[in-house]
């Protein structure tokens, strides 16, 4: 058996022996997830199984001993279902020491009689019938740690924890299919929202129908026939309906059972898209229902849900209708009435009902606003709590004399921009405030963030403390070493051996020397990659941590570096401009400095889109720039050609062609991610030292390369990149002043009209491009490990909706000012829902 499962079983058995007191692990059973999830993934366990275990254990502490027993038994049963050799099941303990729990999940002593008689959906005759299973008592499944606001509170009806098999027509097979869609309990169904809606609410008389319309038509059946076509390989049920204004033919393919459901004289409503056949209008395979019944599938705004195999839209819609009607009104609403009133929001139950089965477009809009508000509100409450927690910690005060700072700035080989000066002032205030600095510097490529970081490090080291700078790649770390060494060493400053580099390639001898210097306090500045957070690295007095390209690090990695010191000051930097809506939402716990000015002498990079057949023009520009003494980059999306992406050019293959056919008299270097670190470093150094005229590369040069002599970048397959990435690549040229060029070459001519590529030609403003990228590609381009998790869990909110974000943020701030701890009785449900939304505490940013 897998080692991770063996450990899990041992913990479960120990918990059973302790009568489910949550004492098998110090701090609670959920603590094992800190190491167990990674081990399980390494052993190849399925992600859905890992997520099942994680979600159950995170909620374990809130359950009664009986529910804990049921939870662990249910988890192990699921494990055995996927991995037969998982071993014997764990023993089960209940409060009366019996080995079974017989209470039905939907009928408990505390469940009202009306809940015991909840409507149970029945399968339609024209839907696949689930296998009939004998009804049996089942144990409740504890609600999962849903990320959705207000999903569970202490007042949530217990019956919502029930497995879906309590519903009529949902047997184990259908329940398994629904679980693949993320629905394990009745509560999950409430928050499984449609992916889109078809508006069939506008009835149309048959005589006014037009080709291509999406309509609902009501009429009386005039005839019903079933005829074979294609030599009997297909059957068509053909129905003619009339509404007094005209007649319409309707076809259903390979559904012969409809002959038993449809008859002449029957009144039906049909909904679909009007098509045309031999000059006559027809409806093919529309949704339909008798007009005597409530119009669930037609004559309304119809929800369209994400599906999986063996689940049909109509069957799921009927199931949803029964559950939503009964349970949505019974949900407690965690949001205080004062907020709902001032924000103009409807109740949670009404919002959920209208989000599934809206009465009108207006009702749907209001429902989505309420649910989206909740998501941003809860996100903001957590962010504000993190900021408060951080500010409540005591940080060492570092005095920065104006005279000293002025001398340091005056000694720089260039003049600081206004944005740089403002950011330096912000840092001075932070380190002298008595609380740890928690600042994000966001600035475009080449805006001078490194200089600010170096000045911040000087403020710390002049008082004898230490600073650490962590970069995502060894290339960037080495560049920082050169920059920091040139700025921080010399007369009256640090010695060269007090600024050191630590990466995975650092020799054992140098590593030992660095560790000794850190422990003694001689090494004042340590620059490196993930190697900085390894256990052997121990600082004597770490008081400043700087994270470069912060979105490339996970929360745990950033926390591990901070843990090397005692409440050290934190400065995080990113060259990816962050849209305002994202900054408000996900970085609200950070103080933000925006560096939106470029150093003097830097001209905008002239950007052009050229079609693949015009590539020779790009080569000519490169040749002319090299003749003028400059250098060029040619960037590719792939390292080597892929069979799946035959049209996409690759660096290795084109390097040979370019060297042989296009630039035979020039020197071309090759750089890509599969090279060993020392090989990359050698190529980078040689290119910087002008031993190569052209560097053929993958996106490994997106960060880290600083070659002032490079004036041209040609990007192949440019349509495959996001705007944020294209902008960062473009920022690698023109760093030495003077005119520079970026040529974007898409895979094929049609892609030359790509909106992203055209946007690149219109502006060099990274913040404008970031806003556009957010709208087109979502938040993933801007987010780190933890942030992307929260962003993708937002089911209704859009991170581009600045007005809603500001509205929710303002109400969160007011609530935080009134009752930051949510201790007031009227805020009890709000507190529970907030804890549930955030789960285990941790940084967003």
Decide if 594 contacts 419 (C-beta within 8 A).
yes
Tell me the percentage of the chain whose pLDDT exceeds 90. 32
What are 110-119's pLDDT values in tens digits? 333 333 334 4
Decide if 612 contacts 746 (C-beta within 8 A).
yes
Give Cα 789 to chain centroid, integer Å.
Answer: 4
Angle between helical axes of 755-762 and 766-777 (0-180°, round to 10): 170
Instruction: Give the span between the Cα atoms of 98 and 458, in whole angstroms.
Output: 67
Most confident region among 505-509, 629-633, 813-817 by mean pLDDT: 629-633
**Integer CA distances (angstroms), 439 to 28, 213, 432, 591, in order:** 34, 54, 14, 5
Tell me the percentage of the chain whose pLDDT exceeds 70. 84
Q: What is the pLDDT of residue 87?
A: 65
Instruction: Give the span between the Cα atoms of 69 and 78, in whole angstroms.
Output: 14
Q: What is the pLDDT of residue 127?
A: 40
Closest to 240 in 3D by CA, of 214, 268, 204, 260: 268
Alpha helices in 296-347 (DSSP H): 313-327, 337-343
Q: What is the pLDDT of residue 693?
A: 96
Identify any residues that bridge with 25 across adjacent strands, giving them in sequence order: none
Residue at token pair 């040069």: 701
Q: What is the pLDDT of residue 793?
A: 59
Alpha helices in 462-507 (DSSP H): 474-488
Most confident region among 12-16, 468-472, 735-739 by mean pLDDT: 468-472
Decide if 217 contacts 243 (C-beta within 8 A).
yes
Decide if 528 contacts 503 (C-beta within 8 A).
yes
Q: What is the pLDDT of residue 569?
A: 94
How many beta carbons lie within 10 A of that of residue 441, not counting itself?
29
Mean pLDDT for the stretch of residues 319-332 = 91
Instruction: Give the span between the Cα atoms of 201 and 302, in whole angstroms.
Output: 9
Alpha helices in 449-554 (DSSP H): 449-461, 474-488, 508-520
Residue 577 has which token pair? 């401009």
Q: What is the DSSP code string of 715-762?
A: EETGGGS-HHHHHHHHTTSSTTSB--EEEEE-SSGGGGG-HHHHHHHH
167 confidence band (pLDDT: 50, 70, 90): confident
Q: Which H/E stretch holds residue 572?
A: strand 569-574
Instruction: Give the span between the Cα atoms of 340 and 369, in whole angstroms.
Output: 12
- Is 585 a residue whose pLDDT tops 80? no
Mean pLDDT for the stretch of residues 206-229 = 89
Look up the pTM and report it.
Answer: 0.62
How many beta carbons lie within 10 A of that of residue 223, not counting itself?
12
Mean pLDDT, rounded, of the chain: 81
Give Cα 447 to chain centroid, integer Å.
Answer: 28
Half-sphere exposure of 568 (CA within 13 A, CB side): 29
Which distant-in-sequence residues (6+ apart) come within 8 Å of 275 by Cβ? 211, 281, 282, 283, 284
What are 692-706's pLDDT values in tens digits? 999 999 887 755 567
Mean pLDDT for the stretch of residues 32-49 = 77
403 confidence band (pLDDT: 50, 70, 90): very high
Q: What is the pLDDT of residue 128?
A: 37
Q: Is 524 left (phi over 0), alpha (psi -120 to 50) or beta?
A: alpha
Q: What is the pLDDT of residue 107?
A: 28
Instruction: Give the span between the Cα atoms of 78 and 5, in whole angstroms.
Output: 12
Most confident region among 217-221, 488-492, 583-587 by mean pLDDT: 217-221
744 confidence band (pLDDT: 50, 70, 90): very high
Instruction: Give the span between the Cα atoms of 146 and 665, in whole angstroms.
Output: 62
CA dihedral defined by 713, 718, 721, 724, rounded to 10 degrees?
50
Instruction: Give the span between the Cα atoms of 580 and 767, in whole angstroms.
Output: 9
What are 461-489's pLDDT values in tens digits? 999 999 999 988 777 888 899 889 999 99
Q: Which range among 158-172, 232-246, 582-596 shows the weakest confidence by mean pLDDT?
A: 582-596
Q: What is the DSSP code string of 800-817?
A: T-HHHHHHHHHHHHHHHH
- Is 776 a residue whose pLDDT tops 80? no
φ/ψ (deg, to 5) at 573: -130, 145
| 3 state DSSP class of 577 | coil
Closest to 6 in 3D by CA, of 34, 39, 52, 46: 39
Residue 412 has which token pair? 């720089």
Closest to 624 in 3D by CA, of 743, 724, 517: 743
Mean pLDDT for the stretch of residues 438-457 = 88
Q: What is the pLDDT of residue 782?
A: 59
The larger pLDDT score, comparing residue 17 to residue 240, is at 240
Residue 464 has which token pair? 């004898």
Decide if 329 contacts 320 (C-beta within 8 A).
no
What are 521-580's pLDDT values in tens digits? 999 999 998 888 887 889 999 999 999 876 566 666 777 888 888 889 999 888 777 777
């Amino acid at each position: 058996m897998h080692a991770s499962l063996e450990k899990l079983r041992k913990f479960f058995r120990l918990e059973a022996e302790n009568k489910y007191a949550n004492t098998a692990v110090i701090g609670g059973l959920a603590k094992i997830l800190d190491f167990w999830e990674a081990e399980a993934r390494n052993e190849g366990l399925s992600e859905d199984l890992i997520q099942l275990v994680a979600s159950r254990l995170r909620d374990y502490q809130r359950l009664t001993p009986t529910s804990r027993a049921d939870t662990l038994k249910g988890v192990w049963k699921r494990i055995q279902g996927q991995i037969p050799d998982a071993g014997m099941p764990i023993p089960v303990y209940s409060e009366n020491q019996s080995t079974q729990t017989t209470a039905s999940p939907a009928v408990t002593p505390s469940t009202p009689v009306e809940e015991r008689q909840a409507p149970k959906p029945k399968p339609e005759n024209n839907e696949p019938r689930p296998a009939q299973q004998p009804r049996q008592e089942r144990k409740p499944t504890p609600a999962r740690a849903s990320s959705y606001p207000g999903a569970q509170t202490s007042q949530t009806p217990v019956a919502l924890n029930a497995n879906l098999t309590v519903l009529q027509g949902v047997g184990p097979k259908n329940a398994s299919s629904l679980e693949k869609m993320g629905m394990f309990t009745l509560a999950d169904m409430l928050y499984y929202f449609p992916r889109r809606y078809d508006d069939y609410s506008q009835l149309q008389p048959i005589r006014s129908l037009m080709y291509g319309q999406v309509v609902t038509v009501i009429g009386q059946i005039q005839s019903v026939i079933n005829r074979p076509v294609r030599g009997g390989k297909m059957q068509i049920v053909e129905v003619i309906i009339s509404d007094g204004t005209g007649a319409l033919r309707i076809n259903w393919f390979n559904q012969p059972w409809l002959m038993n459901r449809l008859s002449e004289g029957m009144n039906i409503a049909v909904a679909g898209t009007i098509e045309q056949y031999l000059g006559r209008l027809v409806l093919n395979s529309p949704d339909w229902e008798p007009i005597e019944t409530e119009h669930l599938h037609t004559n309304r705004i119809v929800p369209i849900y994400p599906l999986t195999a063996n689940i049909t839209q109509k069957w799921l819609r009927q199931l949803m209708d029964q559950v939503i009607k009964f349970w949505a009104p019974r949900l407690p609403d965690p949001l205080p009435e004062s907020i709902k009133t001032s924000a103009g929001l409807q109740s949670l139950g009404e919002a959920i009902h209208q989000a599934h089965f809206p009465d009108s477009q207006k009702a749907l809009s209001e429902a989505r606003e309420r649910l989206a508000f909740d998501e941003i509100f809860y996100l903001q409450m957590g962010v504000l709590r993190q900021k408060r927690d951080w500010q409540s910690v005591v940080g060492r005060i570092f005095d920065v004399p104006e005279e000293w700072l002025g001398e340091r700035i005056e000694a720089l080989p260039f003049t600081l921009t206004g944005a740089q000066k403002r950011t330096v002032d912000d840092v001075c205030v932070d380190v002298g405030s008595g609380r740890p600095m928690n600042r994000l510097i966001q600035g475009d490529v080449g805006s001078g963030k490194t200089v600010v970081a170096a000045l911040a490090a000087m403020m710390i080291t002049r008082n004898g403390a230490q600073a650490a700078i962590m970069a995502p790649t060894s290339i960037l770390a080495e560049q920082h070493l050169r920059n920091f060494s040139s700025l921080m060493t010399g007369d009256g400053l640090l010695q060269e051996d007090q600024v050191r580099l630590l990466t995975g390639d650092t020799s054992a001898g140098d590593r030992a020397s660095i560790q000794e210097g850190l422990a003694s306090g001689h090494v004042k500045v340590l620059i490196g990659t993930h190697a900085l957070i390894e256990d052997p690295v121990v600082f004597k007095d770490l008081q400043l941590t700087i994270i470069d390209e912060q979105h490339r690090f996970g929360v745990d990695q950033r926390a591990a570096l901070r843990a090397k010191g005692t409440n050290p000051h934190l400065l995080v930097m990113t060259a990816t401009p962050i849209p305002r809506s994202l900054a408000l939402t996900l970085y609200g716990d950070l103080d933000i400095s925006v560096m939106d000015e470029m150093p003097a002498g830097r001209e905008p990079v002239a950007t052009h889109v050229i079609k693949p057949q015009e590539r020779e023009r790009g080569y000519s520009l490169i040749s002319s720039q090299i003749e003028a003494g400059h250098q060029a980059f040619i960037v590719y999306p792939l390292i080597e050609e892929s069979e799946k992406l035959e049209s996409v050019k690759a660096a290795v293959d084109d390097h040979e062609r370019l060297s042989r056919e296009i630039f035979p008299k020039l020197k071309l270097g090759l750089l890509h991610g599969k090279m060993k670190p020392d090989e990359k470093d050698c190529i980078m150094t040689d290119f910087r030292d002008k031993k190569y005229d052209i560097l053929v590369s993958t996106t490994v040069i997106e960060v880290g390369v600083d070659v002032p002599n490079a004036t041209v970048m040609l990007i192949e397959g440019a349509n495959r990149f996001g705007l944020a990435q294209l902008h960062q690549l473009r920022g690698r040229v023109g760093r030495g002043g003077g005119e520079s060029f970026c040529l974007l070459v898409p895979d094929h001519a049609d892609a030359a009209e790509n909106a992203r590529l055209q946007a690149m030609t219109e502006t060099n403003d990274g913040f404008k491009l970031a806003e556009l990228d957010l709208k087109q590609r979502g938040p993933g381009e801007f987010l780190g490990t933890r942030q992307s998790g929260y962003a993708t869990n937002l089911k209704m909110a859009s991170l581009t909706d600045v007005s809603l974000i500001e509205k929710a943020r303002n109400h969160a701030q007011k609530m935080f000012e009134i009752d930051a701890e949510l201790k007031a009785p009227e805020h009890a449900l709000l507190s529970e829902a907030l804890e549930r939304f955030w789960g285990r505490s941790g940084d967003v940013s």
